[in-house]
A and B are shown apart, each in its own frame.
Chain A
Amino acid sequence: MYKIIITFALLVFSSIATAQSDYNLPLGVTDISQKVYNLHMTIFYVCIAIGLVVFGLMFFAMIKHRKSKGVKAAQFHESTLIEIIWTVIPFFILIALAVPATQTLIEMEDNSNADITIKITGSQWKWHYEYFDHDFGFYSLLSTSPEQIANTKEKGVNYLLEVDKPLVLPINKKVRFLVTADDVIHSWWVPAFAVKQDANPGFINEAWTRINEPGVYRGQCAELCGKDHGFMPIVVEVLPEKEYQQWLDSQLSSVLLAKEKEQQDLNSGMTMEEAMTLGEQVYLSLCAACHMPSGEGIPGAFPALKNSKIALGDVKKHIDIVVNGVEKSAMQAYGQQLSLKKLAAVITYERNAWGNNTGDLVQANDVQQPANK
């Protein structure tokens, strides 16, 4: 019996010690994350050791000093010496733990001398990444399909941990993150870097990392931020320096292309059918989280667009709300997030879907005027 227990205990321990990645903190791919991991394991073993001593004594007493064995209770109590001993020993253990913890913490908080600066903005429920040194940026949204979440389609390997456009970073560069939020508090967390930084609306927090190995690293928003808090993952693709440079160049040129395209869109209109198809796509990926795919909203929290006064009323008002948002509410300004064409399409969609048959067709040109006012 005892043998079985001991073998089992050994098995459990060795599996804890070796199951490095599955059910333990990841070792990670930065010097900091590895220090954090080592500190974590040290403290874990210290706790195990203390636990073994204390619980060991307790179980010994429970086995040997039981009334059913006919023992008589000793009557000793109060001993200042013993009290001092068991106050002082833990105190020294704590100091021994605090020293490496302090060193690691000081390193983690040293945000100086960054090579690259990325501004990260959280909003309900997506991340916006801006490359400070190059004046370009993009949004990063969950790309798992709603069917997978609703269990009508098989779930992929990276279920809920995949995005449409990952943040791309180079290895061996000190990357500084400026973290903030547009609406509520979010928290940007990538376990492999040991970086978790709250994104507070109206304030900017700093964090940094220097990644040693190329790869794809995944994380999630760590602060409750409303309904779809569980659905705003983070994916970081880390490239060797050369490939990173190539990626950066291609991004910069596509930014230029997009600007040209915007000009073309202003001159050439969409047909109703084009607008509705594109509008539906945009609506489902960006707006349906709050206004629901049926356009009925969530009473008391998010207004319905089906039969809403805005969606059926003045087009200018409708455009204004979508482009500039509604202050002090969850309705964001989409003017900076979407191209003019997409804005026009989603507004057209809202004015004609779910029986909102206004027949209005909004064009990029119509959107531009209020946007530039």
Chain B
Amino acid sequence: MSTLVKNNNKKADIDDFDHAHDEKPRGIMRWLLTTNHKDIGTLYLGFSLLMFFVGGAMAMVIRAELFQPGMQIVDPNFFNQMTTVHGLIMVFGAVMPAFVGLANWMVPLMIGAPDMALPRLNNWSFWILPAAFSVLIASLFMPGGGPNFGWTFYAPLSTTYAPDSTALFVFAVHIMGISSILGAINIIVTIMNLRAPGMSYMKMPMFVWTWFITAFLLIVAIPVLAAAVTMILTDKYFATSFFSAAGGGDPVLFQHIFWFFGHPEVYIMILPSFGIISTIIPAFSRKKLFGYSSMVYATASIALLSFVVWAHHMFTTGMPLAAELFFMYSTILIAVPTGVKVFNWVATMWRGAISFEVPMLFAIAFIILFTIGGFSGLMLGITPLDFQYHDTYFVVAHFHYVLVTGAIFSIMAGAYFWLPKWTGYMYDERLAKLHFWLSLISVNILFFPMHFLGLAGMPRRIPDYALQFADFNQLVSLGGFAFGISQLLFVVVVVKCVRGGAKAQEKPWDGAEGFEWELPSPVPYHTFSTPPKVK
């Protein structure tokens, strides 16, 4: 960077740089060898979209089987494989890579860095992901089938009683974990070292802040997951007894380890959402985020609290009363910082000048529907109530509200928000609005009745059910098919937008703020070879 000629005209500077160094190979090699954060961001996002449809197809199989009482389409063992692999793919293949993709694209642009700090590592952390998911999906075709013990893989169902293919599942999870850890290290190093001069921590954009905290969560949580799957591996194949009472172990120990990873994991999937929403709501309200520093502190306290609530997933395992009380109190305490977030978004909209472009529509839907998921979360956190709700469709409704209408809606919002910047074209507003409204309606038909199914007594992870659950299941399945089909519209909008359309300006959203909007659209291949000035 030091060799660069000082140039006051930023745009000309970027162009010069582009010509001098834009030596990317053509075709497939460009993507295989790329160390460019924008290319890698695109790869992550594309991969995540693909996995969203693979996992979605499995959800369609589940909903088709549950359309009517009785076994129609698949057998119970295959059904269990579908629920398991659907969960694994959506969590590790769709939601997490989408956020890493957004981080790759946006973090360097937002902090004025030329690229990620560790570009080669970046290439590696992406390319091991397709390998991991190939292994996972291939395990479905092994004799005895793929993983069928739920995405939470409780022992001993996942050890002594698991299919022979379990080693492949363990291997796949290990690779996914390595990918996540490498990605997280890269993001932390980038944020700590490559911020433009003058950008102190308390001046970083919210999306950067939330990802910064998320990356630390990843580094702490993922090794615990790696330990859990390793113990599963040795219990199943090497005669250890971590989780078997006969050898002095304890099956509940597995759940403690798993959820010590698992609860931070749910915040790994929602904190970056908070960042995206905190970017979009001010932009379309044309008003500053109401409380920047309290949002940062709220995010940090949610992250810290997320390490002391894990056993709220285990109230029925027979914990001592004192532990049940502790985990109830710590869990409902999370409602406080989460409330601060929601109140802040509403206060930001208050007396703004609001307009309703598609990113804003998704962001508003996020606030409402995520809050509904938060309400059911609060109810689940109350131990005596959890005894009734636990392992029913009420829980299924809860986590799909926070993951689909939470995480995924925020990803959609972010994608629409930054698409013009990435491609240089505006997306088709009419089709995008259609996508939004169809998604909004169908997703609620899909998940809202699940609350009632759970309260009425339908357990989760069952391939067939009693007759009183038939009407609502049919409705839920119809909502599911509609939601699945609606997402094809998203692909149409994205492909159209990549191909062409109305030219996007440098800053297509008049209320948006940040370095990324000072760059031309589409963003040049190389940016910020000289760091921008913080105003």
Specify the chain A residue showing the minimal Cβ separation from B154.
Answer: A185
Q: Answer yes or no: A97 CB below 8 A from chain B CBs.
A: yes
Specify the chain B residue showing the minimal Cβ separation from A202.
Answer: B245
Docked pose: A198 CA to B255 CA in angstroms: 12
Q: Answer yes or no: B38 CB below 8 A from chain A CBs.
A: no
Tell me which of A80-88, A239-247, A339-347 binds B. Answer: A80-88
Residues of chain B with a CB closer than 8 A to A328's CB: 160, 246
Q: Is the CB of B351 within 8 A of A73?
A: yes
Q: Is the CB of A194 within 8 A of B352?
A: no
Q: Is the CB of B464 within 8 A of A231?
A: yes
Q: Is the CB of A300 within 8 A of B372?
A: no
When A36-B385, A43-B379, A105-B383 are in contact, do A65 and B332 touch as well, CB less than 8 Å? no
Q: Answer yes or no: A101 CB below 8 A from chain B CBs.
A: yes
Q: Is the CB of B287 within 8 A of A39?
A: no
Tell me which of B28-36, B128-136, B337-345, B525-533 binds A. Answer: B337-345
Tell me which of B71-79, B103-111, B170-178 binds A. Answer: B71-79
Q: Is the CB of B346 within 8 A of A75?
A: no
Q: In the complex, how many angstroms separate the beta carbon of B378 from the nearest chain A beta carbon?
A: 7
Docked pose: A77 CA to B350 CA in angstroms: 10
Docked pose: A296 CA to B426 CA in angstroms: 59
Q: Answer yes or no: B325 CB below 8 A from chain A CBs.
A: yes
Q: Is the CB of B382 within 8 A of A65?
A: no
Residues of chain B with a CB closer than 8 A to A357's CB: none
Q: Is the CB of B291 within 8 A of A109?
A: no
Residues of chain A with a CB closer than 8 A to B378's CB: 43, 47
Number of interface residues, chain B, beta carbon within 8 A: 98
Q: Is the CB of B325 within 8 A of A47?
A: no
Q: Is the CB of A74 within 8 A of B352?
A: yes
Q: Is the CB of A191 within 8 A of B464?
A: no
Q: Is the CB of B385 within 8 A of A39?
A: yes
Docked pose: A155 CA to B470 CA in angstroms: 12
Docked pose: A155 CA to B467 CA in angstroms: 8
Q: Answer yes or no: A138 CB below 8 A from chain B CBs.
A: no
When A62-B364, A101-B383 are in contact, do A73 and B285 touch as well, CB less than 8 Å? yes
Q: Is the CB of B318 within 8 A of A198?
A: yes
Q: Is the CB of A109 within 8 A of B318?
A: no
Docked pose: A257 CA to B220 CA in angstroms: 62
Q: Is the CB of A73 within 8 A of B352?
A: yes
Q: In the complex, how many angstroms separate the beta carbon of A13 from the nearest chain B beta carbon?
A: 14
Residues of chain B with a CB closer than 8 A to A47's CB: 375, 378-379
Q: Is the CB of A51 within 8 A of B382?
A: no
Interface centre among A35, A90, A151 (most CB of B within 10 A): A90
Residues of chain B with a CB closer than 8 A to A62's CB: 349, 354, 364
Interface hits, B24-70 → A, CB 8 Å: 69-70
Residues of chain A with a CB closer than 8 A to B335's CB: 90, 94
Residues of chain B with a CB closer than 8 A to A108's CB: 384, 387
Q: Is the CB of B353 within 8 A of A78?
A: no
Q: Is the CB of A65 within 8 A of B336?
A: no
Specify the chain A residue showing the minimal Cβ separation from B390.
Answer: A196
Q: In the complex, how many angstroms separate the beta carbon of A131 from the nearest chain B beta carbon?
A: 22
Residues of chain A with a CB closer than 8 A to B356's CB: 66
Q: Answer yes or no: B333 CB below 8 A from chain A CBs.
A: yes
Assign chain A's interface to a size class: 35 or more
Q: In the complex, how many angstroms separate the beta carbon of A74 from the nearest chain B beta carbon?
A: 4
Docked pose: A210 CA to B412 CA in angstroms: 51
Residues of chain A with a CB closer than 8 A to B342's CB: 54
Q: Answer yes or no: A268 CB below 8 A from chain B CBs.
A: no
Q: Is the CB of A98 within 8 A of B328?
A: yes
Docked pose: A278 CA to B142 CA in angstroms: 36
Specify the chain B residue showing the minimal Cβ separation from A183.
Answer: B161
Q: Is the CB of B287 within 8 A of A74?
A: yes
Q: In the complex, how many angstroms separate the beta carbon of B264 from the nearest chain A beta carbon?
A: 22
Residues of chain A with a CB closer than 8 A to B468's CB: 22
Docked pose: A185 CA to B250 CA in angstroms: 11
Q: Answer yes or no: B403 CB below 8 A from chain A CBs.
A: no
Specify the chain A residue showing the minimal Cβ separation from B244.
Answer: A202
Residues of chain B with a CB closer than 8 A to A86's CB: 339-340, 343
Q: Is the CB of B346 within 8 A of A61?
A: yes
Residues of chain B with a CB closer than 8 A to A2's CB: none
By DSSP majority rule, is chain A's interface helix, strand, loop, or mixed? mixed
Q: Is the CB of B160 within 8 A of A329?
A: yes
Q: Answer yes or no: B433 CB below 8 A from chain A CBs.
A: no
Specify the chain A residue showing the minimal Cβ separation from B387.
Answer: A196
Residues of chain B with a CB closer than 8 A to A25's CB: 388, 455
Q: Answer yes or no: A338 CB below 8 A from chain B CBs.
A: no
Residues 220-236 of chain A, each 1 if its beta carbon lies under 8 Å from chain B, else 0: 11111111111100000
Interface centre among B244, B347, B390 (most CB of A within 10 A): B347
Q: Answer yes or no: A157 CB below 8 A from chain B CBs.
A: yes
Specify the chain A residue showing the minimal Cβ separation from B457.
Answer: A191
Q: Answer yes or no: B371 CB below 8 A from chain A CBs.
A: yes
Q: Answer yes or no: A301 CB below 8 A from chain B CBs.
A: yes
When A40-B379, A155-B70 are in contact, do A224 and B149 touch as well, CB less than 8 Å? yes
Q: Is the CB of B467 within 8 A of A109?
A: no
Residue from A65, A75, A91, A300 within 8 A of B349 (CB atoms): A65
Residues 101-124 of chain A, each 1 if its beta carbon lies under 8 Å from chain B, else 0: 110111011000000000000001
Interface centre among B245, B252, B385 (most CB of A within 10 A): B385
Residue from A23, A102, A203, A230 within 8 A of B464 (CB atoms): A230
When A23-B456, A108-B387 are in contact, do A203 and B143 touch as well, CB less than 8 Å? no
Residues of chain A with a CB closer than 8 A to B353's CB: 65-67, 71-73
Specify the chain A residue showing the minimal Cβ separation from B149.
Answer: A224
Residue from A43, A219, A228 within 8 A of B385 (CB atoms): A43
Interface hits, B130-181 → A, CB 8 Å: 142-145, 148-150, 154, 156-157, 160-161, 163-165
When A36-B388, A47-B375, A298-B144 are in contact, do A229 and B461 touch as well, CB less than 8 Å? yes
Residue from B285, B343, B364 within 8 A of A54 (CB atoms): B343
Q: Is the CB of A101 within 8 A of B328?
A: yes
When A184-B161, A202-B245 are in contact, do A83 and B294 touch as well, CB less than 8 Å? yes
Q: Is the CB of B252 within 8 A of A203?
A: yes
Specify the chain B residue showing the minimal Cβ separation from A192.
Answer: B457
Q: In the complex, how many angstroms separate the beta carbon of A198 from the nearest chain B beta carbon?
A: 5
Residue from A105, A148, A149, A198 within 8 A of B317 (CB atoms): A198
Residue from A39, A159, A198, A222 within 8 A of B467 (CB atoms): A159
Q: In the complex, how many angstroms separate the beta carbon of A331 from the nearest chain B beta carbon?
A: 11
Interface centre among A106, A206, A224 (most CB of B within 10 A): A224
Residues of chain A with a CB closer than 8 A to B383's CB: 101, 105
Q: Is the CB of B318 within 8 A of A150?
A: no
Q: Answer yes or no: A250 CB below 8 A from chain B CBs.
A: no
Q: List 9 A-B contacts (CB under 8 A).
A: A54-B346, A54-B371, A65-B349, A86-B343, A101-B382, A196-B390, A198-B318, A229-B461, A300-B165
The 6 closest A-B pairs by CB, nearest first: A300-B144, A202-B245, A230-B462, A205-B318, A300-B143, A23-B452
Chain B interface residues toward A at CB < 8 A: 69-72, 76-77, 80, 142-145, 148-150, 154, 156-157, 160-161, 163-165, 244-246, 250-252, 285-294, 316-318, 321, 324-325, 328-329, 332-333, 335-336, 339-340, 342-343, 346-356, 364, 367-368, 371-372, 375, 378-379, 382-385, 387-388, 390-392, 452-453, 455-457, 459-468, 472
| Known A47-B379, A94-B335; further 18 A-B contacts with Cβ < 8 A | A40-B388, A51-B371, A67-B286, A75-B288, A77-B288, A104-B384, A158-B466, A187-B316, A187-B391, A195-B387, A196-B387, A196-B388, A200-B317, A205-B318, A229-B80, A231-B464, A301-B145, A301-B164
